[in-house]
Structure 1
């Protein structure tokens, strides 16, 4: 795992901020199932500055996290879809929007490949997305048009670009990074000199002629620096976000249409506090909007998943990690020991167990004597 050095000790040869180290994860973090994600701020020890290697000994608290794909400390999401090759599917688009809404991270919806469709199609999708509650951006990576508005949004932030395969995520990253004019004073300039492969273009695939969908080209998450500060995360394409963090009660909050209807009916609210808007008595949310069938479908899916989790795992248990405030108020993660597993057994309990064993042996001896006497008679 490659780690960018944010702060380095002074007077050590080879130690410099902005450099990168190839690190392994400490075994203790693996034992407590403390997963190190792309974008994590970590504590490094046992550093070999000359060899460029180290050990990840701790992970600082995350301010935000994305499950699909797994990336930490994200400032913004970019949901990228194509207007053609492949064409956007409303059900898939809804799943991505619900997943982005559930994270609480600001996001922007972007449609690529505008050069493949006419103005009527662009107007159709713009009006349709506005009815859903979104104001998307339209651009063409191939012709490099419409990129300036997106560049201003992403400057100085850690941005994750997600979307189905074949919509142009890697091509968009290549286009955004090719416009960079990196000065020698920029800290990223050192990384360019040290590791030119990191600043090479991302692999780009083609759309399958048989299925009309994109091929899986990007296999892992890559965090790529950009000039002026900030990073872009290139992620593998997937068509079905898991929605593992979306709950039955919280699903309605991920639909702007429902939020709008609830706001328009204020101060009136649904009659029941646990209303899930299925047409119950006293519900103020009507079913006359376009995505209502998708809402019902996702609600059924989440209900099945939650009932399965309840039967399998029971209620939520305490996490394996707790955060401890260290020097200068910095929070560090440390393992939470399981109750009674790492505690030394008291002397009283040991003595009592010995007495219990002796009593069991005496009971067995007495039973044997009684049995022998009965045989002699």
Structure 2
């Protein structure tokens, strides 16, 4: 795992990339080290550029798909064409992003491949969904300044299906500023010896057979931006898992439902656990475009939750427990497994021996009674 640190004054470089291993105790307590984590590094070998991650500082936020920590902003990126924009796929990504509670921006790339009428139609359609999309194009550089302004001075994660141009957009956002700064004779980033942190991301082509993107980015990379902050390039995936979304929380991931609930105040649904499926006294109507998607996803989540309930039960004890340390600070420690072969106490051993002797006496008495001729008569 690679970590960027500030070296001591004896080293001329402003930042150094270290190849680090994770301390064994962190693995024991199942403390995962994610991209974007702020960590404590010890046992540093500045010559070989190696170290050990000894602790992970508390995270301000965390997303699971893709796994990134301390995220301030999400950029959901789709393309207008190649691959074609699909409403249901877009809905799944938006729900996954909404479920994190992190502010998000919707950007539509490859806008040069469609006409103004198509862009206006999608802008009106997405406005009814509750979103204001940013149309951009890596080829024509349209909309890149708006995205650079939105992403400045924060840690952002770019998510979307394969082939929509995530890596190309990152390269374009960074190369434009590289060129402008190089013309002025200034260095945008302080170099890191032996590091590919500032290199361009690999770019792939859309498959001509399936019309979908090929998986070019294989891992999550956190890259610095010229305006300050960082942008994480993530592998493309065509169907988010929605593992954090439940039957009760699904409705809150749709801006249309949130708007209907707020507009109906002080009136509310008659039932606290209302799923907005036409229950008596429900204030959410069904005359909105994505209602069939809501119904389909609700059925999918219900089937998943019922399967989990049958398989795992209602509660599963974790592998980590927390105890109060100094000054009331919670400390994590591994939960020890129950010993399958405990040492038997002397009292239990003596009692078991007495029980066995009693059983032998009973067996002897039965044999004596069977062999006694007087008892047989």
Q: Distance in 2 between matches of 1:186 and 1:324?
A: 48
Q: Which residue of 2 aligns with 1:355?
A: 350
- Judge conservation of contact 1:58–1:334 (CA < 8 Å) in 2: no
Q: Which moved more, 1:358-367 or 1:263-272?
A: 358-367
Q: Distance in 2 between matches of 1:333 and 1:129?
A: 45
Taking structure 2 as the reference length, the TM-score comes to 0.88
Deviations 1:247-278 (A, max 9, x none): 11010000010011111111101111110000
Does the C-alpha gap of structure 1 residues 275 and 220 become closer, same or farther in structure 2, counting only changes over 3 Å? same
Which structure 2 residues correspond to residues 191-202 of structure 1 after superposition, within 5 A?
192-202=191-201
Q: Distance in 2 between matches of 1:84 and 1:326?
A: 56
Q: Distance in 1 between matches of 2:302 and 2:110?
A: 37
Q: Distance in 1 between matches of 2:356 and 2:11?
A: 69
- Judge conservation of contact 1:61–1:332 (CA < 8 Å) in 2: no
Q: Secondary structure at the match of 2:197?
A: helix
Q: Which residue of 1 aligns with 2:5?
A: 5
Q: Which residue of 1 aligns with 2:40?
A: 43
- Judge conservation of contact 1:18–1:187 (CA < 8 Å) in 2: no
User: How far did residue 196 of structure 1 move?
Assistant: 4.7
Deviations 1:114-151 (A, max 9, x none): 11111001101100100100001001011212111111
Q: Distance in 2 between matches of 1:61 and 1:231?
A: 19
Does the C-alpha gap of structure 1 residues 173 and 62 become closer, same or farther in structure 2, counting only changes over 3 Å? same
Which structure 2 residues correspond to residues 238-317 of structure 1 after superposition, within 5 A?
238-317=237-316
For structure 1, list consecutive stretches of 5 or more residues without a partner in the other structure. none
User: How far did residue 188 of structure 1 move?
Assistant: 4.4
Q: 1:167 aligns with which of 164, 167, 183?
A: 164
Q: Spell out structure 1 runs of 4+ moving beyond 6 A.
A: 182-187, 323-327, 329-332
Q: Secondary structure at the match of 1:179?
A: helix
2:212 maps to 1:213 = yes
Which structure 2 residues correspond to residues 24-173 of structure 1 after superposition, within 5 A?
24-173=21-170
Q: Secondary structure at the match of 2:37?
A: coil
Q: Give 1 or 2 for the bigger CA radius of gyration.
A: 2
Q: Which moved more, 1:46-55 or 1:265-274?
A: 46-55
2:333 maps to 1:335 = yes
Q: Distance in 2 between matches of 1:187 and 1:312?
A: 54
Does the C-alpha gap of structure 1 residues 185 and 66 become closer, same or farther in structure 2, counting only changes over 3 Å? farther
Q: Secondary structure at the match of 1:197?
A: coil
Q: Which moved more, 1:56-65 or 1:103-112?
A: 56-65
Q: Distance in 2 between matches of 1:170 and 1:330?
A: 45
Q: Distance in 1 between matches of 2:115 and 2:38?
A: 45
Q: How many residues align?
A: 367
Does the C-alpha gap of structure 1 residues 59 and 15 become closer, same or farther in structure 2, counting only changes over 3 Å? farther
- Judge conservation of contact 1:186–1:227 (CA < 8 Å) in 2: no
Q: Distance in 2 between matches of 1:149 and 1:330?
A: 46
For structure 2, list consecutive stretches of 5 or more residues without a partner in the other structure. 373-377
- Judge conservation of contact 1:61–1:323 (CA < 8 Å) in 2: no
Does the C-alpha gap of structure 1 residues 326 and 58 become closer, same or farther in structure 2, counting only changes over 3 Å? farther
Q: Distance in 1 between matches of 2:227 and 2:323?
A: 33
- Judge conservation of contact 2:16–2:192 (CA < 8 Å) in 1: no
User: How far did residue 201 of structure 1 move?
Assistant: 1.0
- Judge conservation of contact 1:60–1:331 (CA < 8 Å) in 2: no
Deviations 1:88-120 (A, max 9, x none): 111100000101100000110000001111100
Taking structure 1 as the reference length, the TM-score comes to 0.88
Q: Secondary structure at the match of 1:161?
A: strand
Q: Secondary structure at the match of 1:56?
A: strand
Does the C-alpha gap of structure 1 residues 158 and 316 become closer, same or farther in structure 2, counting only changes over 3 Å? farther
Q: Secondary structure at the match of 2:228?
A: coil
User: How far did residue 52 of structure 1 move?
Assistant: 0.9
- Judge conservation of contact 1:180–1:226 (CA < 8 Å) in 2: no
Does the C-alpha gap of structure 1 residues 319 and 41 become closer, same or farther in structure 2, counting only changes over 3 Å? farther
